[in-house]
Structure 1
Amino acid sequence: MYRAMPEEQFPIPAPDLKKVPERYYRKQVDYQTSEKVGTLVVDTSNYYLYLVQENGKAMRYGVGLGRAGFEWSGRARIARKAAWPKWTPPEEMIQRQPELEKWSWRNGGMPPGIENPLGARALYIFQGNKDTLYRIHGTGEYWTIGSAVSSGCVRLINQDVIDLYSRVADGSQIVVL
């Protein structure tokens, strides 16, 4: 499940699972909800993302979330999915971290790769037709799963985001609790 993935466009190493609590490993679980099948539910208090499945089941993934001041909640949809996406930091992030200017949209963004903050896959979250600038994405910093470290995005181990990406359709609903 968390093997090295040398077949990827940018080979992904296996994570050191001693650095990830077992409760955050990907797992199919019983999950009762009124949300329809295919909906993503982010449980921010427990650092889980659930993909609602049939018959009271869900695929559960451990996640890293937004640190204090960067949290968000609400309903939205997955408007786009990308494998090995380019990353362009939002202007607000560049204001906080001027060294990121080199990756701004004006400079073409950061090319895909293992060092790219979006990791192996990204799911783009929109409310209506507006990009929230939040993403569900992979990370090579797998030891951050189960903590509040991002600028509001939902981070998964690269192997988990690849699995999730293969299961989620464009237009899927997302609920962040």
Structure 2
Amino acid sequence: MHLKSAVIAAVLALSSALAGCSITGGPMQMFTNDYGARVDAGYQLPAIPIYKVDRKYQRQVVRYDTTEVPGTIIVDPQQKFLYFVMPDGKAMRYGIGVGREGFEWKGNARVALKREWPRWTPPREMIQRQPELTKYANGMDPGLSNPLGARALYLFNKGGDTGYRLHGTPEWNSIGKAMSSGCIRLMNQDIIDLYNRAEVGAKVIVL
């Protein structure tokens, strides 16, 4: 009996190691009441009907054991979660929307720039796919309908600008889905929270 227990313990330990030493549990703290309307930089940010958003995609503190230092951002596209690593084996977890099939990406980057209510300039390739976006070739003004939402974190690697962003979205119902052109989107209230936590230079890992 003791031998069987020892074998089970060994298997569980190995499984944890193979999982990249990241273990999550139930929520330690929920922020369900933080999705109300607010005025932000002069913009009237509407409330999100958070009761329509799956509870697992609502902002929450969870257990998260990792060797990465606090301040690191880890994106799990498969589970549709973004983790902001905190001290003491914790992380702030946000629900995200990710790139649809053919637009996925993975790798390491760093937050090179942070912008509040950024302008959005569609990439040339996107304009070719969607000619109706030509009118925004020189950029779309910030606002409630801007695809980048209330905040954007610009990701660079050794090759320079990756073209990918962590950004807000007015389309709260896209969280938990794969429908973007590769960028990682969060609800506007969540990207504001992440923006206030993340530092320029922060490491970003997309699994």
Per the TM superposition, whether the score is higher than 0.5 is: yes
Matched, 1:96 2:119: no
SS in 1 for 2:147: coil
Matched, 1:39 2:69: no
User: 1:125-146 CA distances to partner (integer Å, 9 max, x unpaired)?
Assistant: 1112511111000001001100
Question: When you count helix as a share of all residues, which structure comes out higher?
Answer: 2
Larger Rg belongs to: 2
Matched, 1:11 2:44: yes
Find the aligned partners of 2:121 and 2:52 in 1 and give their Cα distance: 28
- Could you tell me the TM-score, scaled by structure 1's length? 0.96
* Partner amino acid, structure 2, of 1:51: F
Q: CA deviation at 1:36?
A: 1.1
Q: CA deviation at 1:10?
A: 1.3
Find the aligned partners of 2:190 and 2:124 in 1 and give their Cα distance: 29
After superposition, residues 24-35 of structure 1 pair within 5 angstroms as 24-35=57-68
Q: Find the partner of 2:197 among 167, 171, 175.
A: 167
| Structure 1 segments of 4+ aligned residues over 2 angstroms from their partners | 6-9
Q: CA deviation at 1:124?
A: 0.2
Task: Name the stretch that deviates more: 95-104 or 15-24.
Answer: 15-24
Find the aligned partners of 2:178 and 2:40 in 1 and give their Cα distance: 31
User: Which sections of structure 2, spanning at least 5 residues, go unmatched?
Assistant: 1-33
In structure 1, the partner of 2:20 is none
Find the aligned partners of 1:69 and 1:129 in 2 and give their Cα distance: 21
Task: Give the fraction of aligned pairs with identical amino acids, expressed as a percent.
Answer: 55
In structure 2, the partner of 1:151 is 181
In structure 2, the partner of 1:59 is 92
Q: CA deviation at 1:6?
A: 2.4
Q: CA deviation at 1:18?
A: 3.2
Equivalences, count: 174
SS in 2 for 1:101: helix
User: Which sections of structure 1, spanning at least 5 residues, go unmatched?
Assistant: none
Q: Please give the root-mean-square deviation of Cα atoms over the aligned residues, in Å.
A: 0.9
Q: Find the partner of 2:141 among 111, 125, 128.
A: 111
Q: Find the partner of 1:130 among 160, 172, 176.
A: 160
